[in-house]
Copies of this chain bind each other. A is one copy, B any other.
Amino acid sequence: MNDSTHESTVPTAVRILAAAEEVFAESGYAGARVDEIARRAGVNKAMLYYHVGDKAALYGGVLRTYFQLLAGKLADALAGSEDPRERLRRLQVAFADTAIVHPHFPQIMLREIAAGGANLPLEALQGMGRFMSATREVVEDGCARGVFRADVEPLLTHVMVVGSVVFAANGLRLLTRLAEAGVATPEVPYDLPEIARLANDIILNGITSEGVTS
């Protein structure tokens, strides 16, 4: 314990990764500048390479944080209920919560989807695979129990559950830009958890078998 400021107590590697997260989100992997990351972290560029490593190591370190948190929340979500509708809702909440703790996560994911995952290390690809498998498990279980319609596609369900959160999380920046340019935009009278809840209502309402009530 000493009298140093909060900033100085944060390990250098953590400050570097926090800066990397910002820059990768804003500019993408190709567009990100290592000099800019070092500048925002308040460290010399040589120190950045000393503490964390090259550009790929910076990116991998950022992604590891995201997928470790998401994996834990997904496991809790699956274990927390037996009802397929409740489990699907919890799956979406787990992802939305991760996006709230790490606001740059959906932005970086959006860029990677566009890039076809070209920059993603194996660890991140496996994390995405586990997420898709979790959704598939919930959907197939729900179909088998007769709660969801038998023709519900697991992958489309995943796309709609995740996509609505990812788009909603990224939409505000675009709406701000549209407003700056003088383009009329619809109002956004709700926050991310609320959007996730509304989207989940629509999806559940859309895939639930007739006759099943909550």
Contacts and interface: CB of A to CB of B under 8 A. Distances in A.
Interface SS of chain A: helix, strand, loop or mixed?
helix
Nearest to A29: B31
Nearest to A136: B186
Contacts of A176: 116
Contacts of A25: 114
Interface residues of A, number: 65
A167 B171 contact: no
A153 B116 contact: no
Interface stretch (A5-13, A36-44, A126-134): A126-134
Interface in A151-173: 153-156, 158-160, 162-164, 166-168, 170-171, 173
B114 A170 contact: yes
A2 to B, nearest CB: 41
B117 A110 contact: no
A166 to B, nearest CB: 8
Interface in A90-149: 107-108, 110-118, 120, 122, 125-126, 128-129, 132-133, 136
Contact of A205 (B156, B173, B206): B206
A110 B27 CA distance: 13
Nearest to A210: B205
B28 A153 contact: no
Contacts of A155: 171, 186-188
B154 A159 contact: no
Contact of A156 (B26, B126, B128, B198): B198
13 contacts: A25-B114, A27-B30, A110-B111, A111-B114, A113-B171, A113-B174, A116-B177, A129-B185, A133-B186, A160-B202, A163-B166, A202-B202, A204-B206
Interface of A: 25-31, 107-108, 110-118, 120, 122, 125-126, 128-129, 132-133, 136, 153-156, 158-160, 162-164, 166-168, 170-171, 173-174, 176-178, 181, 183-188, 190, 195, 198-199, 201-207
